[in-house]
Each structure stands twice: as C-alpha cells, then as structure tokens.
A and B are shown apart, each in its own frame.
Chain A
Amino acid sequence: MAILEVKDLKKNFGKTQVLKGVSFTVEEGEVLSIIGSSGSGKTTILRCVNQLETPDSGYISVDGQVFFNGKAEKESDEERRRRQLLVGLVFQDFHLFPQYNVLKNVTLAPELLAEEREDYKHNKKQIHEEIEAKAKEILAKVGLSDKLENYPCELSGGQKQRVSIARALMLEPKVLFFDEPTSALDPELTGEILKVIKGLAEDKTTMVIVTHEMSFAKAVSTKVIFMDDGVIAEAGTPEEVFDNPKSERTRAFISKFDD
C-alpha cells in the first residue's frame, strides 16, 4: 500500500484555481520530486498534505491515516496534531526559532511531546537525555556537531537549512517534505543541502521534494512529477520525464534548464 496517497486534490485561492485535480502516490522508501514553473501549484500540494492549507476537495492519506476526505471537517487540535506527526516539512526559508540555539531548535518539539507521556514525571531526566542524545546524533549526521550552542543568526543559510532538516527528522515522520530547500540559498551553498538529502535517500527515507534543481532531481528521485498550471502534465521515472518527455510543455520546461 502506498504510504502517501493523493487523489483528485483541488484547491482555490479566491477565484484562482491553483490545484485542478492532482493525483499521485508515493511508496515507502521512494523519493518523489515535483518540478514545474512558479505558480504551477507545487508548494500548495505540500501545504495541503502538511495541513497548512485546507483543500477544497480530494483525498489525502498518509500511512493509512486519512488526512482529508472530500471536505473540511470540524475537528480538535488534538486530532490534527496526531496526524501532523506522520509528516515533516522543511521550509524554503528555514523558519528556525531565533531565540533557541541549534540543539534546542531540534529538541524543542520532541521535548514538548514527551511532556504528554504518562511516564514523563518519573523518567524526566532520562527522557531528556535520550532526546538530547538523539538530537546530537542527527545533528552529527547533517554535519553540525560543532554548532550545537550557536544561535540561528550565527549560521550560514546552508547551516540553517541543515538544522531545519534535523529538526524535522527528530520526529521521525513517515514522509518528509521539502519545499524548495535550496531556493533561499546562495548557489555555492546548495551543494551541502543536496548532499544531506542524498544521504537521506540512501537511508531509504521517504521524501517528496519540490525543487528547481533539475540535475539533482534526476539523480536522487525514483519518481518525478511535472506540474503545469495546477495539473500533473507528466509523471514517471526520472529517465522518462527528463530524457523522453511525452508532453510538449515538459520538453519546453526541461530544455530551459539544459546547459
């Protein structure tokens, strides 16, 4: 069964129809890249799945749990949060918490979650030690072991984005989403982020990546979607989409990126 299932997703902002019925699935361990020009609805898909926007219609499920089915329903904050933990989102502009150092940025959410555990009062110290150890391990993986005590304002863009990836990984989401993770970075800094994402792909992390880095998308993805004006114009393996595009729009779009 697909770990992420999106069916006939539609979303309007006022009179503008941003998503005109988008369907796709992602299997466990797959890496899906979503490409397409600005305004084609790529980011809106991520925002709908991550519950930052409410779709107008369609169906979304993650790991068998229904996120959205047809129409918006009144539900408790609790319900929303429970589902939220199945997905993780890395923002284009990082959105780190400026008042906390790197370590605390990564541990804050799991610490708050741990406070809701029944055994929290008894094992408080142990729980915090575990969270911290895990955070240090993940931060080491993204190459930030020497920045634990630094504040976000002391980091480069690439370092900030690596913190934000670590922050999302801490909660062990079933699917990790990236919204143009390198678009806010200087060109020389994009490499370090792409390296981290490649590492995650090798570890079989299920990921959905909205990106403008075509060669990266081709190298890292198992599946590619080309979005055009709110619909999927083309979908397939990277070879199919990049080397043998069926639609004229895809061909035109991809040729713009050829050097």
Chain B
Amino acid sequence: MSFLEVTSFLLDGFKISLLIFGVTLLLGAPLGLPIAFGSMSKFKPVKYLFKVIVWIVRGIPLMLQIFIIYYLPGLVFNFQIFGQVDRFFLIEYGVMDAGRIMAVLIAFTVNYACYFSEIYRGGIESISKGQYEAGIVLGMTKSQIFKKIILKQVVQRIVPPMSNEIITLIKDTALANCIMVCEVIKQAKELAATKAMIWPLFYTGLFYLLFVGLLTIILGKGEKKLSYFRS
C-alpha cells in the first residue's frame, strides 16, 4: 500500500472519529445544561438524583460505559438492539457499524454531558450574588436575569475548561474501537493485522495533532473575542 492509500484508508476512520466528536459536542453540550440545573435544584430529591447520576457517569471508565450500553440490552432483554440496527443499515443502505456507532454516541453524549454539566454548574455558581440582586431591584424576571446578565458571564468563564474538555473528547473517540467501530486507530490496527504495517498506527497521531491544532486556534479566538469585559 502506498502512503496515499494508507492516508485515505485512515482518513475514512478519522471521519468516524470526527462524527463521534461532532455529535457528542452537539448533543452533549446542551444536555449538560438541564443536568447542571438539576444538580443545583433547591428540591433536594432532584438535586441528589442528578448528583448520583453525575457521580456514576463520571465514576466509571468511559470504555466500560460503552460496553454496558452496547451489551446490556442483549443481556437483560435478550434483544441486541444495536446489532439489529447494524444489520438493518447494512442491508438497507450498505452502511457499516451504524448500531455500534449509535451505542458509542449514546455513551459519549451522556458521559460528556455530565462533565459539561459540572463545568456549567461551576460557572453559574461563580457569578456573584450581586449580579442577581442588581437584576431583581431593576425589576427583571428570573429568566431575563439569567439570559441577559448571567449567561454571557458564565460563557466567558467556562471557555477555558470547556476547551480542555473538547480537546480531550477528540482523543477519547479512540475508545470506540473497543466495540470494533472503525475509527482511525481501529483502521490502523486493521492495517497492522492484515498488511503487517505498524507505522500507520503512529501516523494516526498526526491526524489528532492537526485537528487539535485547529481546535486550539478556534477556541483561542473564541476566548479572545469574549475577553472584552472582565467580570
């Protein structure tokens, strides 16, 4: 296999990595918000329910969570839902791994939503009480206070920790290969197994590096754009 052929083969895998990255971010970031509000709830049972969820999800390795989500329906209900989806998409559309990818997306979205929720919570709780009180005495509603006063200050504060988490996310997508999803490292291992080529495995590092470089630039721009005020 030529260098170009290997690159193209790995790129097919990296597209899957990017898919997991994109969907997790798109679904996990908004999902983190209700979880954050849940764990800040003044109603104790709700608060503790969310705290326990976050504890479990953050307390178990993500790889194990992928296994659990992928295998549990088959074990408990004797119905391998993700296997069925795999088969359906393969037969109907000729798409590989659809069910496995779905299982990975569920695990990733829930896992990252919990991490994001803690970042949001920290951000929201760090805003001084005075900001809320200023809104109250100016006759604003609770939702106006949150949307018009608090939110942007929270966003400014959470950009650095979110950037960190987002950069971790792209590298975590490699975990998908534990249930044989053909992301970039799985592809490289495939080459090692079938063509006895080991260098593509190391070459995958460059894909991550370039993408993280791009992310760093974008996130840095965002951070700079929000630095026009100090709270």
- Show the binding face of A for B, using Cβ within 8 Å: 50-52, 77, 81, 84-85, 87-89, 91, 93, 95-99, 108-109, 112-113, 151-153, 167-168, 171
Contact of A152 among B133, B137, B229 (CB under 8 A): B229
Known contacts A51-B136, A88-B137, A151-B228: does B153 contact A99 (CB below 8 Å)? yes
Excluding A98-B230, A151-B230, 8 further A-B contacts by CB distance (< 8 Å) are A51-B137, A84-B136, A84-B139, A87-B137, A91-B130, A95-B131, A109-B140, A168-B137
CB contacts (< 8 Å) of B231 on chain A: these are 98-99
The residue among A52, A89, A95 with the most chain B CB atoms within 10 A of its own CB is A95
Q: Which of B137, B139, B152, B228 touches A113 (beta carbons < 8 Å)?
A: B139
Counting chain A CB atoms within 10 Å of each CB, the highest count among B128, B134, B141 belongs to B134
Which residue in chain A gives the minimum CB-CB distance to B130? A95
Among A93, A113, A151, contact of B229 (Cβ-Cβ < 8 Å) = A151
28 pairs of residues in contact across A and B, judged by CB atoms under 8 Å: A50-B137, A52-B136, A52-B137, A77-B142, A81-B140, A84-B137, A84-B139, A85-B139, A88-B137, A91-B130, A91-B133, A91-B134, A93-B130, A95-B130, A95-B133, A97-B149, A98-B230, A98-B231, A99-B152, A99-B156, A108-B148, A112-B148, A113-B139, A151-B228, A151-B230, A168-B137, A168-B138, A171-B139
Number of interface residues of B (CB under 8 A): 22
By a beta-carbon cutoff of 8 Å, the part of chain B in contact with chain A is 128, 130-131, 133-134, 136-142, 144, 148-149, 152-153, 156, 228-231
Inter-chain contacts of B148 with A (CB < 8 A): 108, 112
Interface residue from B131, B138, B149, B230 paired with A153 (Cβ < 8 Å):
B230
Nearest B-chain residue to A170, judged by Cβ: B138
Task: Let me know if A98 and B133 touch, CB within 8 A.
Answer: no
Chain B residues within an 8 Å CB radius of A112: 140, 144, 148
- Dominant secondary structure of chain B at its interface with chain A: helix
- Evaluate contact between A98 and B229: CB separation under 8 angstroms: yes
**A89 vs B136: C-alpha distance in the bound complex, in angstroms?**
10
Task: Chain B residues near A98: list those with CB within 8 A.
Answer: 153, 229-231
Contact residues in B for A51 (Cβ distance below 8 Å): 136-137
In the docked arrangement, what's the CA distance between A108 and B71, Å? Answer: 53
Q: How far is the CB of A45 from chain B (nearest CB, A)?
A: 15
A197 to B139, CA, bound (A): 22
Give Cα distance in the complex from A77 to B134, angstroms.
16
Chain B residues, Cβ within 8 Å of A50: 137
Q: B156 contacts which chain A residues (CB < 8 A)?
A: 99
Q: Give complex CA distance A91, B134 in Å.
A: 8
Q: How far is the CB of B207 from chain A (nearest CB, A)?
A: 37
What's the least CB distance linking A8 to chain B, in Å? 24
Residues of A within 8 A of B137 (CB): 50-52, 84, 87-89, 168
In the assembled complex, how far is the CB of residue B86 from the closest CB belonging to chain A, in whole angstroms? 48
- A113 and B138 CA atoms in complex are apart in Å by 10
